Structure 1
Amino acid sequence: MVMSPPALASALAPAPAPPPVATRPRRVLIGTDTYPPDVNGAAYFTHRLARGLAGRGNEVHVVCASDDGPARTERVEGVTVHRLRSAPVLVHPTMRISVPARLDRLVGEIAPDVVHVQGHFVVGRAAISAARRGGVPVVATNHFMPDNLFQFARVPEPLRDRAGALAWKDFNRVFSRADHVTTPTGIAAGLLVGKGFGLPVEAVSCGIDLTRFRPRSGPGARARARRAFGLPDRDTILFVGRLDEEKRLDELVRALPRVLDDADAQVVLAGTGGQRAALAALADRIGVGDRVVLPGFVPDETLPELYGAADVFAMPGVAELQSIATLEAMATGLPVVAADAMALPHLVRPGRNGRLFQPGDVAELAWHLGGLLASPEARAAMGAASRAIAMTHDDRFSLARFEAIYEGVERNGPA
């Protein structure tokens, strides 16, 4: 059979390319026991992680406790938030706990590519169990230290070592079911190993948005920031965070009279917590009530301006696995005086961007604060060094690393 030229051309033409295979964004389900409006480092990190992943094109779901009791699902800042029915935590004034429930139905409906839990309590362990039953790989990030719970659980001092050992045993049992475990710093990773955790632990910084938290420049910038918060225009030592026992803010208040011997200074304790009334009473009792300012909760969107009102940032806490607030202060160009405890030496390099003091040594704390307030040149040099160190904690690096971890566990499949 002889083919006509048109037919021959048609026969010799390459076959049409198959239609492209439809792809969808990676689907991530984040399980957490604390999420805004909760005010703590883990809640802030989880919120920024969810929002950041969504901004990079991932489909992000968060499952957490309801902030007001009834269950609901809502879309917030590009993230689908599934709030579980909750009840008040009797030992905490504001926190709520989700009512225990299997999450199999939610995991089945969402069909995530990966589950990323932020703790081993009610939601975290339920999410891990549901993921295991559903064949979904699990990434787990630890923000936990027993010290953060002792105040609220009313654990007596003599029993804290035993209670801590039991808490770590429970943690190890739950997180050992994950495919990949992270924590914010190498020091925090070493803590887990020291507590008997047997799986590899990767240090991945919480990261911060360096475009938001950056030095404020120009004449009068600091004075304008103080006016915005109704602060007197005097040397300002700032703390941002929960006003709770393990933050040891009484040491900062008790250091202030020594600082005032040589400086016209004030301490600003920004945040809420169970120690607020006690700190105000302590300040009045030792004669510095007019120099200790307690502005309460400061919304995340105005935090950069608050850091801009300070001369020095102080972090006397002894249970910090990284300290997001310290990182934010450093990114804003502040020198830091911090306790020589847990992961704070990971951020504060003595003589370079700040000073470390022995926890409990109020005289040493006052000495370092007074020395920095007396030397604008030292503050400027250390503030620039703080910014340089903070630059290595860009949240874009952290988000990219978590995406790479997700890809790895998706490729290898659940254990």
Structure 2
Amino acid sequence: MSPPRVLSVIHAPHLGGPQRRNLALAQRFAADGTAHLTVALPDGPAAEVLSAGGVEVRSLPLGRLRATADPRTQLRYLAGWPGDVARLGGLIRSTGADVVLLNGLVNAQGAVAARRAGVALVWQLLDTRPPPGLIRLLRPVVQAWADCVMTTGPALAVAQLGVDPAATAGPLAGRVVPFAPPVDAGCFRPDPAIRAAVRGELGVAGRPVVGMIANLTPQKGHDAFLDAAIALRRVRPDVAFLWLGERFAGQAAYAERLVQRARRLGLNDLVVRAPGQRVAALAQAIDVAWLTSAPRSEGIPTAAGEAMALGLPLVGFRVGALDALVTHGRTGLLVPPGDISGLVTATAGLLADLDRRRTLGAAARAAAQAVCAPEACAAHHLAAFEIARAHRQRCAMGGTTPGRGNKVPSI
């Protein structure tokens, strides 16, 4: 087969993990000539960054399901479906795409457009945020329509699809490809000179720093971070705290509430910085990285791989598929979701033990280099595209029907 032409559909306009992954993939595919990837997403910061990075971007309005009980919001979303599907169908035709890559479970407009156009569909399950009822509703649709499913870690396939990626029988046998988000360990690498410079820039020189790489959105658990910060400061009053994350227009009130709460708690010196493209530099100010995401939130967080690639010991809640990247006690420390006391105890122990921090940090970097290698992420995507195209071709020839599975080589 010729190299796949992929239309990657993203419904969020901000710059987050899926957007950064698509940037890295598109650049690698273009350099290697292994695939052509066009990204369809709404106008916004992500479209600007991807375009500046040489990615073919098609900006268009796309509705997305919102975490609100307001029926007016959800009705507007549903009313926009026909237009979204029509616009995506037009892009499939104009780009010559033979694969649609759907970045996430809940916004299925791209799946409908792919099915109508008769092209292959790769459906990605990226996190554990969707409500259980919605997962149950969409599970049979994914099983019936997806030519290949990609999940951030094997556990997500089991949790959301009830499918073991290694299974040789069942509706998606041989068509589930786990992957981890890419992190460039050449860019994210420890550098003492950069560390000293950014600690001075952020005003935390000479202090131990606990920080988190996370955009200011509810799923990232900043309230839990604040609770833990207050508890840690009781035993380590010298600790400085750092948030590296963007504020989004739709979450402006939430972000402001967090900052005001930090002040009420006495954390007036909390450093909050929108890192832009400087995550790899600014995060080097951190001594211990925290991940305090909500219980139903993550898959494999890109930020965890970035912190680990920088050689930072990670202490976090065991959420989503994080344990596919972090081995407790070897490459980081994990505590049960919401366990503030456990998080504080583990962190205080690390802050008091430089050798332990260095040992965990070195092991964390090695794990990130192995699990989050960009070339591995690209290879998994290319394998998924080929599995999907082969399955779609067999379906078109009447050899099988979507949802009944094919025996194809596993990754």
- Is 1:302 the counterpart of 2:278? The answer is yes
Q: 2:161 aligns with which of 186, 193, 197?
A: 193
Give the total of aligned pairs: 363
Q: Which residue of 1 aligns with 2:59?
A: 83
CA 1:344/1:26 → structure 2, altered by over 3 Å: closer, same or farther? closer
Superimposed CA distance per residue, residues 30-81 of structure 1 (whole angstroms, 9 cap, x where no aligned partner): 122125xx0332333233333332333232211222339xx99x95533221
Higher RCO (C-alpha 8 Å, min separation 6): 2
CA 1:362/1:24 → structure 2, altered by over 3 Å: closer, same or farther? closer
C-alpha separation in 2, matches of 1:26 and 1:194: 29
- Is 1:131 the counterpart of 2:114? The answer is yes
Partner AA of 1:330 in structure 2: M
Q: Which residue of 1 aligns with 2:187?
A: 212
Structure 2, unaligned stretches of length 5 or more?
A: 69-75, 165-169, 396-411
Q: Which residue of 2 aligns with 1:368?
A: 346
Partner AA of 1:109 in structure 2: S
C-alpha separation in 1, matches of 2:330 and 2:128: 28
State the secondary structure of the residue aligned to 1:100.
helix
C-alpha separation in 2, matches of 1:279 and 1:236: 19
C-alpha separation in 2, matches of 1:40 and 1:172: 28
C-alpha separation in 2, matches of 1:325 and 1:364: 21
Superimposed CA distance per residue, residues 127-157 of structure 1 (whole angstroms, 9 cap, x where no aligned partner): 323332333222121124345xxxxxxxxxx
Q: 2:147 aligns with which of 162, 176, 179?
A: 179
Partner AA of 1:165 in structure 2: G
Partner AA of 1:183 in structure 2: T
- Is 1:66 the counterpart of 2:50? The answer is no
- Is 1:257 the counterpart of 2:241? The answer is no
State the secondary structure of the residue aligned to 2:84.
coil
User: CA contact under 8 A between 1:236 and 1:312: conserved in structure 2?
Assistant: yes
Q: Which residue of 2 aligns with 1:268?
A: 242
Partner AA of 1:65 in structure 2: P
- Is 1:342 the counterpart of 2:327? The answer is no
- Is 1:49 the counterpart of 2:25? The answer is yes
C-alpha separation in 2, matches of 1:379 and 1:167: 39
Partner AA of 1:142 in structure 2: L
* C-alpha deviation, 1:374, in angstroms: 1.1
C-alpha separation in 2, matches of 1:313 and 1:53: 32
C-alpha separation in 2, matches of 1:86 and 1:230: 41
* C-alpha deviation, 1:305, in angstroms: 0.5
CA 1:238/1:178 → structure 2, altered by over 3 Å: closer, same or farther? same
User: CA contact under 8 A between 1:221 and 1:308: conserved in structure 2?
Assistant: yes
Q: Which residue of 2 aligns with 1:399?
A: 378
- Is 1:236 the counterpart of 2:209? The answer is yes
C-alpha separation in 2, matches of 1:87 and 1:203: 27
Partner AA of 2:94 in structure 1: E
Q: 1:170 aligns with which of 138, 153, 157?
A: 138
Structure 1, unaligned stretches of length 5 or more?
A: 1-22, 148-162
State the secondary structure of the residue aligned to 1:237.
strand
C-alpha separation in 2, matches of 1:363 and 1:24: 55
Q: 1:284 aligns with which of 234, 257, 263?
A: 263
* C-alpha deviation, 1:237, in angstroms: 0.8
Q: Which residue of 2 aligns with 1:160?
A: none
- Once superposed, what is the RMSD of the aligned Cα atoms? 3.1
User: CA contact under 8 A between 2:147 and 2:391: conserved in structure 1?
Assistant: no
CA 1:81/1:168 → structure 2, altered by over 3 Å: closer, same or farther? farther
Identity between Structure 1 and Structure 2 (%): 28
Q: 2:96 aligns with which of 96, 111, 135?
A: 111
C-alpha separation in 2, matches of 1:137 and 1:25: 14
User: CA contact under 8 A between 2:122 and 2:146: conserved in structure 1?
Assistant: yes
C-alpha separation in 2, matches of 1:63 and 1:329: 29
Q: 2:84 aligns with which of 83, 90, 100?
A: 100
User: CA contact under 8 A between 2:287 and 2:312: conserved in structure 1?
Assistant: yes
CA 1:25/1:198 → structure 2, altered by over 3 Å: closer, same or farther? closer
C-alpha separation in 1, matches of 2:292 and 2:127: 18
CA 1:28/1:193 → structure 2, altered by over 3 Å: closer, same or farther? closer
C-alpha separation in 2, matches of 1:241 and 1:90: 19
Superimposed CA distance per residue, residues 346-400 of structure 1 (whole angstroms, 9 cap, x where no aligned partner): 2222221221122222222111111111111111000000011111120111102
Partner AA of 2:243 in structure 1: L
CA 1:108/1:338 → structure 2, altered by over 3 Å: closer, same or farther? same
Higher-Rg structure is 1
TM superposition score normalised by structure 2: 0.79
C-alpha separation in 2, matches of 1:175 and 1:64: 25
